[in-house]
Amino acid sequence: MRNSIRLCAFALAILAAAPAKTCLAQAAPRMPGELAWTIGYDPKTFDPAIVDDQESEQVRYLTAGVLLRFNRLTQKVEPELAETWSVSANGRTLTFRLRLGLQFSDGSSLTARDAAWSIRRVLLPSTHAPVAEEFVSPGEVTVETPDARTVIVHLPKRVVGIGKVFDEIAIEPAGRPSQGRITSGPFFVSDYHRSLYVRLRRNPHFYARDAAGVELPYASGVRLDVLENPEQEIRLFLRGAYDVIDDLPPDYFELLRRKDPSTVRDLGPSLNTEQMWFNQAPDAPIPAWEKAWFRNRAFRIAVSQAVHRADLARIAYEGHATPAYSFISPANSIWYNRSLSAPHTDVAAAKAELAAAGFHLSGSVLEDAAGHTVKFSILTNAGNAARLKMATLIQQDLAALGMQVTVVTMDFPALVERLMHTQDYEACLLGLENVDPDPNTMMNIWLSSSPNHQWDPSEKEPATAWEAEIDRLMNEQAGALMSSERKQAVDRVQQIVADQQPFIYLVYPNVLVAVSPRLQGVQPAVLEPALTWNVEDLRLREAR
Amino acid sequence: MTAGAAVLQWLGRTIAIVLLVMAGSTVLVRFAPGYLSDAREMDARYADAAHAELSQEAARSRSLPHMLSAEISGWARGDAGISREYGVPVSALILPRLAVTGGLLLRSILLAWTLALSASLLTTAGRNPSPFWQTPATLLLAIPTAAMATLCLLANSGGPVLVMALLLAARDFKFLHRALRTAWLDPHVLQARAQGLRARQVLRAHVLPAIAPQLAALASLSIMTALSAIVPVEVIFDVPGLGQLAWNAALNRDLPVLLAVTMIMALAVVIGGMTPDRPPEWKSV
């Protein structure tokens, strides 16, 4: 038996060694001066023209040289590869003057021909570039290059916020699209191991220099590890394997705060909203009386008044959210309507509103005028702890009105099918991510004809007078020349939405991030990418 | 039955199982809620691209027999198709992950067997089964794999190999201990020990040969147990293997990937089952 004892000791030694090894298996070795953080899944493409998912977009942001960059901190469009740019008085001609001596990462020259080719490429229908849509009529846009440094873009009609569109158009070598291998941005794709990591290397020919004349970017590269599990991400972050964590869920933020409070930052309300809405689609396979409740403004107002938003922020988001009453967050200082009048929490007023609309209590149960018990389900996606907590709290709040609410969670594809195709749901609780502060990007939500007009998608014509007014105002702001006219129209839309409550806004989740103490140059912004928008200025303390 | 006929019978059975797996997976995924939807539909920036892809998929999957025959003929040509989620050939997704999962399984099974065998040898030598070994094994069997993995993650200690190995070792230990103890107490082994034969010689000459068929059957059982645990373990520890791929494919209704993974799993189970008949007392496991 001595041998077996030895064997056992050997096994225990392996047992002790195995965990240590496997814990670190995910992190690839870091190169000197290299930054590292995670992405949730493999980028679908490295071709900057056809990016249609968030992680590919992140790679594009880090690698693409663009004519103009939308500064995430100042929220202003700034020249990047273009030294100067101008828009004609009628808003239909844009002229870009390129910087002198621009080069691609392989050392070849970057001229107006490359810029024109890249713009034309995204406009071609065969490219299927999502950004082409933002030109409204991409087929009618023409691009000319009078000389090697000038690019002129002619638009068939004025496009609101056209400058920001060029933030998404990567300038690539003419006729040589390279899947991010040859770029004019701060980094280029050097190595990709599917499901493991994407490695970006510093572009030695990037045009930018700091105030002291030092070439940017400072970092020798960026490694983006493909990692889905936030617990694993936090564990590796605490070990120094990662430098930043963008977009932390509140529970993980608190977990990290308890372990290392110096690393976490709450940047205040984001542009994103969390809201619930009732299904008002006429073809929805739900009982007619339920449709009648959901189309009843008083019913929606009463529900809105019964919800304790401060509790949602405090409990579901552990204090890292702000009560919401509008689709525009206070973080969006330009467009937020400060004089908005919206229904606030008032359970007595909610009961009175329901009574006036013909609802009555039968014991502790609310019934409509025809005697139907008011009960419905709130659908939300599985796997989002904060949303599930909110739904449960709302269930409790509405019980005070006598409404019987059940909470139903489903995985995202099944939920999308219900929302977008079958309309087989009663109420839904979801969030909306706003990547751009300009309300023009929300046209797809507010136009009644849009498939993303969630409470009643793809209306053939506006179902109500207030929806018709929103249509008119949103179109008006999109064509207005004066920003004051646009602001006026958007303020009015915010007020209509507050009055009608098609979406019952709940909270603006705060932007929660974590930054390694070793990382220098971070200037957190509310807009994405919150921590890495100025990636060329980021560096590790040891490097350089 | 001749050897050739036996091989033919095995091949026929394997092909039938694989075809059943293909048909079952296709039906389940095709009729799963959300098969013809895409989260990108909710995002104005990507909605058009999503709608275009969904239209193509709707046209392709209109008829189930057509879908099945397309999948089978694709596989017959050695083409596993293109992933719906990633837009790359399924083989490009599977092959690197196959090595990761294979390595994880191999290390886990080896560690589990080393542990189980060591513990069994120690307890077999004693007069009665030691609660020192029995209790932890029973406890480990009672804890769900996902819970054990999450505990390791929260405790910032342990990894996928440890979790898989503990799960397998706990199960293997129960069987190994029973088999070894029975063999250890056989009259001829008792006789050999009484005559002064050393423990090592008794084990090598009498005990291990006697339990060899059980060991082979236990090996196949280990493979099947490990396969059933691979999905939660890989997902929780973010191991880029087949289990994680299968999970993502299921969440994203990625039929070509799911088909490939389930077929690999089915083949592994079929091959794992090519061992001598299990003893009657293990058949309930």
d(CA A291, CA A279): 7
- Closest CA of chain B from A343, distance in Å: 27
Report the pLDDT value the prediction gives residue A467, as an integer from 0 to 100.
Answer: 97
End-to-end CA distance of chain A: 59
pLDDT of A209 over the 60 cut? yes
Instruction: pLDDT band for B39, please (50, 70, 90 cuts).
Output: confident
Interface test with A, best of B166, B238, B247 (most A CBs within 10 A): B238
Report the pLDDT value the prediction gives residue B130, as an integer from 0 to 100.
Answer: 66
Mean of pLDDT values over A500-521: 96
pLDDT of A234 over the 50 cut? yes
d(CA A316, CA B149): 26
Give the range among A4-8, A203-207, B230-234 with minimum mean pLDDT: A4-8
| B184 domain residue, yes or no | yes
Q: Are residues B62 and B108 located together in one domain of the fold?
A: no
- Cα-based distances in Å from A432 to A273, A426, A445, B71, B230: 5, 19, 10, 37, 35
Mean of pLDDT values over B172-179: 85
Count of structural domains, chain B = 2
Instruction: pLDDT band for A192, please (50, 70, 90 cuts).
Output: very high
ipTM metric:
0.74
d(CA A275, CA A506): 5
| A259 domain residue, yes or no | no
Query: B125: which chain A residues are within 8 Å (Cβ-Cβ)?
Result: 1, 4
Instruction: pLDDT band for A435, please (50, 70, 90 cuts).
Output: confident
Give the range among A93-97, A424-428, B101-105, B138-142 with minimum mean pLDDT: B138-142
d(CA B37, CA A416): 6
CB A525 within 8 A of CB A73: yes
| A4 domain residue, yes or no | no
- What proportion of chain A, given as a percentage, has pLDDT over 90? 79
What is the number of helices (H) and of strands (E) in chain B? 12, 0
d(CA B161, CA A326): 49
Angle between helices A483-500 and A465-479 (to 10 degrees): 160
Query: B238: which chain A residues are within 8 Å (Cβ-Cβ)?
Result: 26, 227-229, 232
Q: Do A45 and B35 touch (CB under 8 A)?
A: no
Report the pLDDT value the prediction gives residue B266, as an integer from 0 to 100.
Answer: 87
Question: In one letter, which amino acid is A235?
Answer: R
Q: Do A52 and B161 touch (CB under 8 A)?
A: no
Three-state SS string across A371-430, please? CCECEEEEEEECCCHHHHHHHHHHHHHHHCCCCEEEEEEECHHHHHHHHHHHCCCCEEEE
Which residue, among B178, B169, B114, has the nearest Cα to B137 in the 3D structure? Answer: B169
d(CA A125, CA A121): 9
Q: Do A26 and B87 touch (CB under 8 A)?
A: no
| B12 domain residue, yes or no | no
Q: Are residues A118 and A180 located together in one domain of the fold?
A: yes
Q: Do A420 and B37 touch (CB under 8 A)?
A: yes
Question: In one letter, which amino acid is B132?
Answer: F
pLDDT of A3 over the 60 cut? no
**Structure-block tokens of residue B109:** 């099974």
| A445 domain residue, yes or no | yes
Report the pLDDT value the prediction gives residue A11, as an integer from 0 to 100.
Answer: 52
Asked if A227 is an interface residue toward chain B (Cβ–Cβ < 8 A), one would say yes
DSSP letter assigned to residue A537? G
CB A41 within 8 A of CB A49: no
CB A507 within 8 A of CB A234: no
Mean of pLDDT values over B47-69: 82
Asked if A126 is an interface residue toward chain B (Cβ–Cβ < 8 A), one would say no
Give the range among A97-111, A178-192, A392-406, B67-81 with minimum mean pLDDT: B67-81
Q: Identify any residues that bridge with A514 across adjacent strands, giving them in sequence order.
A: A245, A264
Q: Are residues A150 and A198 located together in one domain of the fold?
A: yes
Count of structural domains, chain A = 2
Please list, in sequence order, all residues whose beta carbon lies within 8 angstroms of the beta carbon of residue B252, skipping any fewer than 6 positions away.
A413, B84, B85
Closest residue in B to A235 (Cα) is B156
Q: Identify any residues that bridge with A95 across adjacent strands, giving them in sequence order.
A: A86, A152
Residue with tokens 């199960």: B171
Q: Are residues B71 and B106 located together in one domain of the fold?
A: no
Q: Do B125 and A53 touch (CB under 8 A)?
A: no
Mean of pLDDT values over A65-90: 94
Q: Do B158 and A19 touch (CB under 8 A)?
A: yes
**Structure-block tokens of residue A507:** 């909270």
Please list, in sequence order, all residues whose beta carbon lies within 8 angstroms of the beta carbon of residue A486, skipping any fewer than 6 positions away.
A160, A477, A480
- Cα-based distances in Å from A207 to A104, A186, A285, A369: 9, 8, 58, 70
CB A159 within 8 A of CB A436: no
Instruction: pLDDT band for A45, please (50, 70, 90 cuts).
Output: very high
Q: Are residues A354 and A229 located together in one domain of the fold?
A: no
B253 closest CB neighbour out of A413, A415, A420: A413
Residue with tokens 């009961």: A351
**Structure-block tokens of residue B110:** 């080896």
Q: Are residues A151 and A48 located together in one domain of the fold?
A: yes
d(CA A160, CA B8): 70
Residue with tokens 């542009």: A271
Asked if A16 is an interface residue toward chain B (Cβ–Cβ < 8 A), one would say no
Q: Are residues B52 and B170 located together in one domain of the fold?
A: no
Which residue, among A195, A250, A251, has the nearest Cα to A227 in the 3D structure? Answer: A195
Query: B122: which chain A residues are within 8 Å (Cβ-Cβ)?
Result: 1, 4-5, 8
Q: Does the predicted TM-score (pTM) go above 0.90? A: no
Residues A89-147: pLDDT tens digits?
A: 888 999 999 999 999 999 999 999 999 999 999 999 999 898 888 888 889 999 999 99
Distance of CA A115 to the CA centre of its chain: 28
Instruction: pLDDT band for B127, please (50, 70, 90 cuts).
Output: low
- Closest CA of chain A from B281, distance in Å: 26
Give the range among A245-254, A347-356, A363-372, B266-275 with minimum mean pLDDT: B266-275
Q: Do B34 and A415 touch (CB under 8 A)?
A: yes
Q: Are residues A160 and A144 located together in one domain of the fold?
A: yes
Instruction: pLDDT band for B74, please (50, 70, 90 cuts).
Output: confident
| A12 domain residue, yes or no | no
Q: Do A19 and B152 touch (CB under 8 A)?
A: yes
Query: B117: which chain A residues are within 8 Å (Cβ-Cβ)?
Result: 7
Q: Do A22 and B34 touch (CB under 8 A)?
A: no
Q: Do A130 and B45 touch (CB under 8 A)?
A: yes
pLDDT of A26 over the 60 cut? no
| B168 domain residue, yes or no | yes
Q: Identify any residues that bridge with A264 across adjacent strands, giving them in sequence order.
A: A514
Look up the CATH number of the domain holding residue B166: 1.10.3720.10
Q: Do A8 and B52 touch (CB under 8 A)?
A: no
CB B243 within 8 A of CB B194: no
| B88 domain residue, yes or no | no
Q: Are residues A494 and A529 located together in one domain of the fold?
A: no
Q: Do B238 and A413 touch (CB under 8 A)?
A: no
Query: What residues make up the domain containing A86?
Result: 34-243+516-540
Query: What residues make up the domain containing B235?
Result: 100-282
- What proportion of chain A, given as a percentage, has pLDDT over 70? 94
DSSP secondary structure of B61-108 = TSSHHHHHHHHHHHHHTT---B-TTT-SBHHHHHHHHHHHHHHHHHHH
State which H helix or E strand residue A256 sits in: helix A250-259
Asked if A541 is an interface residue toward chain B (Cβ–Cβ < 8 A), one would say no
Closest residue in B to A193 (Cα) is B96
Look up the CATH number of the domain holding residue A96: 3.40.190.10
Q: Are residues A439 and A524 located together in one domain of the fold?
A: no
Could you tell me the sign of the dihedral formed by the alpha carbons of A287, A289, A295, A297, in that order? negative
Closest residue in A to B253 (Cα) is A413
- Closest CA of chain A from B21, distance in Å: 23
Q: Are residues A486 and A534 located together in one domain of the fold?
A: no
Query: B87: which chain A residues are within 8 Å (Cβ-Cβ)?
Result: 44-45
CB A185 within 8 A of CB A80: no
Instruction: pLDDT band for B276, please (50, 70, 90 cuts).
Output: low
**CB atoms inside a 10 Å sphere around CB B147:** 13
B125 closest CB neighbour out of A1, A22, A410: A1
| B259 domain residue, yes or no | yes
Mean of pLDDT values over A245-249: 91
Q: Do B35 and A53 touch (CB under 8 A)?
A: no
| B188 domain residue, yes or no | yes
Q: How many contacts does A have with B, using Cβ atoms within 8 A?
A: 159
Q: Where on the phi/psi map is residue B144: left (φ > 0), alpha (ψ -120 to 50), or beta?
A: beta
Query: Averaging pLDDT over each range in A87-91, A227-231, A386-390, B257-261, which range is the top one?
Result: A386-390
Instruction: pLDDT band for A201, please (50, 70, 90 cuts).
Output: very high
Closest residue in A to B52 (Cα) is A128
B118 closest CB neighbour out of A7, A130, A418: A7
Q: Are residues B142 and B200 located together in one domain of the fold?
A: yes
State which H helix or E strand residue A197 sits in: strand A197-202
Could you tell me the sign of the dihedral formed by the alpha carbons of A530, A532, A534, A540, in that order? positive
Q: Are residues B232 and B273 located together in one domain of the fold?
A: yes
d(CA B133, CA B183): 19
Report chain A's mean pLDDT, rounded to a whole number.
92
Q: Are residues A526 and A442 located together in one domain of the fold?
A: no
Query: Averaging pLDDT over each range in A255-259, A300-304, B165-169, which range is the top one?
Result: A300-304
DSSP secondary structure of A23-34 = HTTTSPPPPTTE
* Bigger pLDDT: B203 vs A174: A174
d(CA A538, CA A219): 7
Residues A250-289: pLDDT tens digits?
A: 999 999 999 999 999 999 999 999 999 999 999 999 999 9
A42 closest CB neighbour out of B35, B49, B86: B86
Closest residue in B to A8 (Cα) is B118
Query: B48: which chain A residues are within 8 Å (Cβ-Cβ)?
Result: 130, 133
Report the pLDDT value the prediction gives residue B271, as an integer from 0 to 100.
Answer: 80
Q: Are residues A328 and A423 located together in one domain of the fold?
A: yes
Give the range among A208-217, A499-508, A535-544 with minimum mean pLDDT: A535-544
| B3 domain residue, yes or no | no
Interface test with B, best of A52, A61, A224 (most B CBs within 10 A): A52
Q: Do A11 and B111 touch (CB under 8 A)?
A: yes
- Cα-based distances in Å from A451 to A130, A459, B153: 17, 8, 42
**Structure-block tokens of residue A282:** 């006429």
Asked if A344 is an interface residue toward chain B (Cβ–Cβ < 8 A), one would say no
Mean of pLDDT values over A199-223: 96
Give the range among A17-31, A168-182, A489-503, B179-193 with minimum mean pLDDT: A17-31
CB B83 within 8 A of CB B90: yes
Q: Are residues A397 and A484 located together in one domain of the fold?
A: yes
pLDDT of A309 over the 80 cut? yes
Report the pLDDT value the prediction gives residue A34, as an integer from 0 to 100.
Answer: 96
- Closest CA of chain B from A108, distance in Å: 31
d(CA A111, CA A471): 42
| A267 domain residue, yes or no | no
Residue with tokens 């702001």: A477
d(CA A355, CA A368): 9
| B29 domain residue, yes or no | yes
Instruction: pLDDT band for A541, please (50, 70, 90 cuts).
Output: confident
Q: How many CA atoms lie within 13 A of A463 on its CB side?
A: 16
Interface test with A, best of B28, B53, B118 (most A CBs within 10 A): B118
Asked if A179 is an interface residue toward chain B (Cβ–Cβ < 8 A), one would say no
Closest residue in A to B83 (Cα) is A44
Distance of CA B78 to the CA centre of its chain: 24
| A59 domain residue, yes or no | yes
Residue A430: is it exposed, middle or buried by C-beta count within 10 angstroms (0-12/13-18/19+)?
buried
Instruction: pLDDT band for A12, please (50, 70, 90 cuts).
Output: low
Q: Are residues B36 and B108 located together in one domain of the fold?
A: no
Q: Do A413 and B156 touch (CB under 8 A)?
A: no
Q: Are residues B175 and B48 located together in one domain of the fold?
A: no
Scanning A428-487 for CB atoms below 8 A from B yields: 430, 433, 435, 441, 443-445, 451-452
Closest residue in A to B248 (Cα) is A41
pLDDT of A14 over the 80 cut? no
Q: Are residues B140 and B263 located together in one domain of the fold?
A: yes
Q: Are residues A499 and A520 located together in one domain of the fold?
A: no
Asked if A130 is an interface residue toward chain B (Cβ–Cβ < 8 A), one would say yes
Query: A3: which chain B residues are within 8 Å (Cβ-Cβ)?
Result: 199-200
Q: Are residues B151 and B262 located together in one domain of the fold?
A: yes
| A6 domain residue, yes or no | no
CB A391 within 8 A of CB A415: no
Q: Are residues B51 and B150 located together in one domain of the fold?
A: no
Query: B50: which chain A residues are within 8 Å (Cβ-Cβ)?
Result: 52
Q: Are residues B157 and B251 located together in one domain of the fold?
A: yes
d(CA A14, CA A27): 21
Look up the CATH number of the domain holding residue A324: 3.10.105.10
Question: In one letter, which amino acid is A520?
Answer: Q
User: Could you tell me whether strands A519-520 and A503-515 are parallel, antiparallel, or unpaired per DSSP bridges?
Assistant: unpaired
B237 closest CB neighbour out of A14, A21, A232: A232
Q: Are residues B42 and B175 located together in one domain of the fold?
A: no
Q: Do B45 and A128 touch (CB under 8 A)?
A: no
Q: Identify any residues that bridge with A147 across adjacent strands, giving them in sequence order.
A: A150
**Structure-block tokens of residue A58:** 């992140």
**Structure-block tokens of residue A179:** 């899947």
d(CA A522, CA A515): 8
